[in-house]
Amino acid sequence: MRPGGHEVLKYVTLPDPTPGPGELLVKPTAIGVNFIDTYRRSGVYQVPFPHVPGTEGAGEIAALGQGLEDSGYEVGQKVAYAESVTGGYAELVRVDAARAILLPPGLDLKVAAALPMQGLTADYLVRSTFPVKAGQDVLLYAAAGGVGSLAAQMIHETGARLIATVGDAAKAASLTALGVPSGDVLVLGTMRDLATDLPKAVKDRTGGRGVHVVFDGIGKDTFKASLASLRRRGTLVLFGGASGQVPPLDPQELNAHGSLYLTRPTLADYVATREELVERAERVFGAAARGELTVKIGQEFPLEQAAQAHAALESRATTGKLLLIP
């Protein structure tokens, strides 16, 4: 395999892995598909090739590596993981035991597979990168997507006002069902000039002030609109690049738009310790198990159709989470 488009993905047979010291061997029931997988596949993020894509999934422990005899882990336990040692698009996956997440009773494994990357990402964005509070105005892109649909629920819980964008009108219903007024759901597909039309729509809804924070996972196509949608001293949280990476920025642009803050966070820095990983996981997975957080599974593909799953994700026409089923 070499860097390139989704067509470079090939379904091949490799020897079964064995867990190293401190590792679990997991047999996944479902595997999550994320934009970071496409960044690595295409060469945006540098990884060695040949490369097995994928980081997250959920399933049962099939074997324990050396040193885990008294760790509390047992063969047959259900776990999820946001990162793997050998790549996640596989029927057997090696996982560092210190990064595994023991699942609460009753949580469906497909739901669990949808949460490690996107659920923990939504949690750190809304609760840590910019802790959203009641009375604030928030602009969230792709609010019907994988991260967006979870972040929208978390923002709604805080009592903040959510202004949500979707790609087309068909995706708006999931936001109005959450309680977002239809007038605060903005359909990007109806806007001719995003850089001017979106900030105008946002400021029309905020008394001309703009929002306190923008959560932008789209990147290149929305970056200028995001800056222009913020109020003075607002914060732009750029957490992805679904439309491509943002070109180099002159910091004077932040000055010109009102002394803005810009951050480009990544999940790894918000679950860097075992303690923080467990804290976030217990909050997110626990809420899902109790029915307090709704996880939408958009599409499921057989593992051998990973290329089709990448094509669907990169089309930006999907809603909810994409899963691969071994």
Mind listing the pLDDT tens digit for each residue in 40-80?
Answer: 999 988 888 899 999 999 999 999 999 998 888 999 999 99
Phi, psi of 216, rounded to the nearest 5 degrees: -120, 110
Q: What is the pLDDT of residue 304?
A: 97
Over the range 29-42, which residues count as b (16 or more CB within 10 Å of their CB) and which as e? bbbbbbbbbbbbbe
Mean pLDDT of 196-217: 97
Identical topology for domains 6-114+295-325 and 118-267: no
Q: What is the 3-state secondary structure (H, E, C) of 216-280?
A: ECCCCCCHHHHHHHEEEEEEEEECCCCCCCCCCCCCHHHHHCCCCEEECCCHHHHCCCHHHHHHH
Q: Given this model, what pLDDT does residue 1 score?
A: 66
Q: How far is CA 209 from CA 206, 225, 236, 307, 314, in A?
A: 6, 14, 15, 44, 33
In percent, how much of the chain has pLDDT > 90? 83
Q: Is the pLDDT of residue 278 over 90?
A: yes
Residue 302, beta-bridge partner list: 325
State residue 33 phi and psi, 5-degree precision.
-110, 130
Whether 298 shows a pLDDT value over 70: the answer reads yes
Give residue 36's pLDDT: 87
CA 69 centroid distance within chain: 33
Radius of gyration of the chain (CA): 20
**CA end-to-end distance (rounded Å), the chain:** 20
Residue identified by tokens 């109020």 is: 231
| CATH number for the segment(s) 6-114+295-325 | 3.90.180.10
Confidence of residue 231 (pLDDT cuts 50, 70, 90): very high
Residue 302 region by backbone torsions, left for phi larger than 0, else alpha for psi between -120 and 50, else beta = beta
Phi/psi of residue 90, each to 5°? Answer: -160, 165
Longest C-alpha distance within the chain, in Å?
Answer: 61
Kindly state the average pLDDT of the residues 259-279.
96
Under 8 Å CB-to-CB from 1, ≥6 apart: which residues? 8, 9, 10, 49, 50, 51
CA–CA gap between residue 220 and residue 210 (Å, rounded): 20
Q: What is the DSSP string of 147-171?
A: HHHHHHHHHHHHTPEEEEEESSGGG
Q: Pick the range with the lowest mean pLDDT from 64-68, 133-137, 310-314.
A: 310-314
CATH code matching the domain that covers 118-267, chosen among 3.40.50.300, 1.10.286.10, 2.60.120.10, 3.40.50.720? 3.40.50.720
Cβ contacts of 272 within 8 Å, gap of 6 or more: none
Query: What is the pTM for the complete model shown?
Result: 0.90
For the residues 200-206, what does the mean pLDDT come to?
A: 98
Check residues 10 and 244 and name the one with the higher pLDDT. Answer: 10
Beta strands 23-33 and 93-96 are antiparallel
pLDDT score, position 205:
97
**What is the mean pLDDT of the segment spanning 190-219?**
96
Residue boundaries of the structural domains of the chain? 6-114+295-325, 118-267
pLDDT band at 230 (very low <50, low <70, confident <90, very high): very high
Mean pLDDT across the chain: 94
Helix (H, G, I), strand (E, B) or coil at 214: strand
Q: What percent of the chain has pLDDT over 70?
A: 99
What average pLDDT does range 205-220 have in this prediction?
Answer: 96
